[in-house]
A and B are shown apart, each in its own frame.
Chain A
Amino acid sequence: MTRALFTHLVKDLRIEWRTLDAMISMLFFSGLVVVLFSIAFDPRGAFAQQIAGGVLCVATMFASVSALNQAWSREIRHQVMDAQRMVPSPGAELYLAKAIANFLFVTIVQVLLAPFFFIFYNLHIAGQGWLLLLVLPLGTWALVGNGVFFAALSMSSRNRELLLSIILFPIFIPALLAMVQATTSIFTGDSDPTLWIKMLLGYDIIFTTASLLLFDVIFHAE
């Protein structure tokens, strides 16, 4: 980890610790999704096992979007972004630091949400539960890695919140599918999630590499 990356990361974590802007909105949205789905569907028996993976992913997705929308808002306010564009350290480090910070925020929300999720959906893991420790981070990284990149791309737009969802969700669909299928396989134990996990890993490598290579172009665009 380079010094600039560490500096950006510490700054983002410090500001979030002081304001809790992203964490509060994420907890609210994800909690709402979990509770509403448990009311809308009968959360008992095998059906709960079937839909739980999807609910978890949707809750993560909506929660992340609220945080991602704020990822660059502090940089836009008071034109701090101009100061960032003038420093000699590469913009890709700022991107990576923001992605790591948002990854940590979403992971914390997932950890806080997990007990409620298991209680509301009366879940019993039939498959290899430890694989969730691979699936959830990989899926979360797919979301925040792309999300931070596209949030930067849309930050100069007036309708940036809307634009982010419009760009991000279609691109995230392959990772969403892999995440839901892998999670459902783990909950039900019906099939092997390995293929889906490999797909998530491949998705993460490709999109993170592309984002790192392209970030300076959008960062320095007028």
Chain B
Amino acid sequence: MNVNASAAAGKTPSARFDQVSKLFGTFAALRQVSLDLEPGRCYVLLGPNGAGKSTLLRILAGLLRPSHGTVRVFGNSDPHESRARIGYMSHAAMLYDELTAQENLLYFRSLYPGRACLEPADALRQVGLDPDLNRYVGQYSQGMRQRTSLARVLLHVPDLLLLDEPFSNMDVESVRQMVELLARFRQSARTIVLTTHQRDLAAPIADWVITLQAGRVASLDRGAPTA
């Protein structure tokens, strides 16, 4: 199934998948996926384990190359050209255990020269963490790591935000705060793609719900965002 909502609307997509397949040996993680992602929209990827959700995100992030087909992110066929505009949060924290949250964010902020980044303290406040907390990330709870990880990806104010299972390990209140934050983020004409097993949690911000099954787009449903 093709998803070409933005083409129909006449908008330039943030990202475009054209007949993209990804093979790991003989296993096809993605099969001929075509997809346009519009700016200012939130796409929720659903599907069972192994459906290809994380693979799709990693291809968008430029961490994997498609075996067949083409991917364009912000018009560039080489995703590395666009990497300063992409924020990717995976299952893992992608942070150094031996540094504090502030130190981690200061470090990553320095690696985006020429880009207007948030102050680390502001990014931490946005995700509901105390910037003055002087503890190493290795001593954080799983939920706190998850929030710090989100602060890391928001730091360089990406135009395309890729979140792999962002609600895992989070309590109900933290999920609510995160959904509010993502809703504000989406309103500034930025694109969000997130994967989850919990459809209800993402429903308030979902413009489109894409269900993947065995590497194919099985269904595409328009969401009813409330946030």
Contact = CB atoms under 8 A, between A and B. Distances in A.
A222 interface: yes
B18 interface: no
Given A11-B99, A14-B103, A77-B97, A88 B111 contact: yes
Nearest to B115: A88
A18 interface: yes
B99 A78 contact: no
Contacts of A88: 83-84, 111-113, 115
A86 B83 contact: yes
Contacts of A7: 107, 110-111
A19 B98 contact: yes
Contact of A4 (B63, B84, B93, B111): B111
A193 B63 CA distance: 48
A157 interface: no
B64 A79 contact: no
Instruction: Give the dominant DSSP class at A's interface.
Output: helix
Contacts of B64: 222
B95 interface: yes
B97 to A, nearest CB: 7
B86 interface: yes
29 contacts: A3-B110, A3-B113, A4-B111, A7-B107, A14-B99, A15-B96, A18-B98, A19-B98, A74-B98, A77-B97, A78-B92, A78-B97, A79-B90, A79-B92, A82-B61, A82-B92, A86-B62, A86-B88, A87-B83, A87-B111, A87-B112, A88-B83, A88-B84, A88-B113, A88-B115, A89-B111, A89-B112, A89-B113, A222-B63
Interface of B: 61-65, 80, 83-84, 86, 88, 90-99, 103, 107-108, 110-113, 115, 136, 152
